[in-house]
């Protein structure tokens, strides 16, 4: 891939409170808010990357940019950190949502099941219900992806 093209691709960093835990999300492409985006400009599909350990999204940015270019910049690509693996820098705004109601329900947010619940809570609060998903998992992220499919069959995940 041409590195000049990759450098022009916007990557937006956000920290949100998900299940009561700071969570880094890197968003490749111009779409940073899919819930409040007007329907006419909202993409039909989101590519969602769940990293392997140690759960740092920044490691996957070159891959996300290459994938974004390969899909002709038609779909957003979001990379989520594992719960508790990335802390927001001092002074960085942490976004909150009124729908972060699962915070008390997740007993072991840092365990395997808790990490799956963390990703599910994010998808349910940050991604429109009708938006198709392509979930890419690396290493333990693959396990999380399979568990998401098992525990949330209502999510419109593309095969």
Give the tens place of pLDDT for each residue, 78-136.
999 999 999 888 988 898 876 665 455 688 999 999 999 999 999 999 999 999 999 99
Note the pTM of the prediction, 2 decimals.
0.89
How much is the pLDDT for 148?
97
Give the tens place of pLDDT for each residue, 14-67.
999 999 999 999 999 888 888 887 656 789 999 999 999 999 999 999 999 999
Backbone angles phi, psi at 28, to 5 degrees: -95, 125
Cis preceding-peptide flag for 69 (omega within 30 of 0): no
* Residue 88: CA count within 13 A, CB half-sphere: 16
């Amino acid at each position: 891939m041409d590195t000049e093209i990759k450098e022009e691709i916007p990557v937006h960093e956000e920290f949100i409170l998900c299940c009561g835990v700071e969570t880094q999300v890197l968003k490749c492409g111009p779409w940073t808010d899919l819930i409040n985006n007007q329907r006419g400009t909202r993409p039909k599909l989101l590519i969602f990357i769940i990293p392997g350990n140690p759960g740092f999204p920044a490691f996957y940015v070159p891959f996300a940019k290459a994938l974004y270019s390969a899909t002709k910049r038609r779909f957003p690509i979001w990379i989520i950190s594992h719960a508790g693996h990335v802390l927001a820098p001092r002074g960085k705004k942490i976004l909150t949502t009124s729908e972060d109601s699962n915070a008390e329900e997740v007993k072991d947010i840092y365990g395997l099941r808790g990490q799956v619940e963390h990703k599910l809570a994010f998808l349910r609060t940050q991604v429109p219900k009708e938006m198709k998903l392509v979930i890419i998992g690396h290493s333990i992220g693959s396990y999380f992806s399979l568990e998401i499919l098992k525990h949330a069959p209502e999510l419109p995940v593309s095969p």
